[in-house]
Amino acid sequence: MMTSSGHLATKNTTNTAIKIDKLNKWYGDHHVLKDVSLDISEGEIMVVCGPSGSGKSTLIRSLNHLEDYQEGVVSVFGQPLSRDRQSHKIIHQTMGMVFQNFNLFPHLTVLQNCTLGLTWLRKMSERDADKMAMRLLDRVGIAQLATRYPGQLSGGQQQRVAISRSLAMEPKIMLFDEPTSALDPEMVKEVLDVMIDLAKTGMTMVCVTHEMQFAKQVADRVVFMADGEIIEVGPPEQVLVNPQWDRTKEFLQHVL
């Protein structure tokens, strides 16, 4: 089905970006992911929502191996991932991640945060890396802050830097774990605008978020999770407006 060389199986073999198959995870005896299966196609915007503790973070972090899982298979572009070097390489070449609390490197300037991966991993020359990073920073509207340190930026600006930093590595899939939850309401919009722009470029995105407006506006499908299980999957109009399960309805009444 696929070539085993370093390169990824291309679109013509499959257009599934991520295939999650019967994922199970336990913290000790605590069963946090229960037989989770999900296919995410290339270019799809997938929003994951659900109550606190339902396993959303655990699921999205399992995709790029920030968490271990005990059972199940995750495939990226048709290649099943394991714990070996090859899989790590695939993960780093295809997936970028944005965290709830930004996790910028505080000792580096905004620009250095973005060029770090380019100069050290891609072996790009400093000038090319700077040029590329400036283009990305410009795209998220903070090119003028390039020489500042993260501590001198507002939360919204920091999160936009974090997005540029991920984008600099040219991922095919972007994972967002509650990117706006640590932000003041006034700053949520500037980050969401960047994400909406990104969605329009055809990037595959998996977003854990409670911003239902965002979900309605750009999501192709919404996943509702509770207690480590996927309860509903479907287009936003279906899951968010006409949920099939009482659990979903209850949750939506709280968030909306």
Partner 1 sequence: MDDLNVKNPPTLKQFVPTPPRPPRQSKSGIFGTIRQRCFNSIGNSVLTLCVIAVLFYLVKHVLDWAVFNAVFIADNRRQCMDISPDGACWAGVISWFNGLIYGRFPVDEQWRVNVGVLLGLVWLLPLMSKRIPLRNVILLSWIGLYPFVGAYLFLGGRFGAELGWVHGVMTCLALAFLTIIYANWILSVWDKKGLNELFVPLVSRFVERRIHLLSFVAAWLLIALVMAFALNQVSLEPVAIERWGGLFLTFIIASFAITMAIPIGVVLALGRRSKLPVIHWLSMTVIELVRSVPLITVLFMAVTLLPIFLPADVEFNKLAQVLVAVCIFAGAYMAENIRGGLQAIPKGQYEAAATLGLGYLHTMALIILPQALRMMIPNIMTSFISLLKDTTLVSIIGLFDIMLMARNIANDKDWVGMHTEPLVMISVLFFLFCYSMSQYSLTLEKRLKVDR
Nearer to partner 1, 145 or 230 (CB): 145
The two structure tokens encoding residue 212: 């239902």
Query: Which of ligand ATP, partner 1, Mg ion, none is residue 103 near (CB under 5 to 8 Å by kind)?
Result: partner 1
The answer to whether 41 and 203 have CB atoms below 8 angstroms apart is no
Q: In what order do the strands lie in the sheet with 79-80?
A: 30-41, 16-27, 71-76, 79-80
The answer to whether 120 and 172 have CB atoms below 8 angstroms apart is no
Nearer to ligand ATP, 18 or 132 (CB): 18
How many residues sit in the footprint of Mg ion (CB under 5 A)?
A: 1
Place of tokens 């590329």: 132
Asked whether position 64 contacts partner 1 by CB under 8 A, the answer is yes
Asked whether position 194 contacts partner 1 by CB under 8 A, the answer is no
Nearer to ligand ATP, 5 or 52 (CB): 52
Assign 156 to helix, strand or coil: helix
The DSSP annotation for 71-95 comes to: EEEEEETTEEP-SSHHHHHHHHHHE
Q: Which of residues 36-95 bind Mg ion (CB under 5 A)?
A: 57
Q: Given the rule CB under 6 A, which residues bind ligand ATP?
A: 27, 30, 32, 50, 52-58
Give the per-residue contact string, 68-107, with partner 1 (x = CB under 8 A; - = no).
------------------------xx-xxx-x-x-xxxxx
List of residues contacting Mg ion (CB under 5 A)? 57
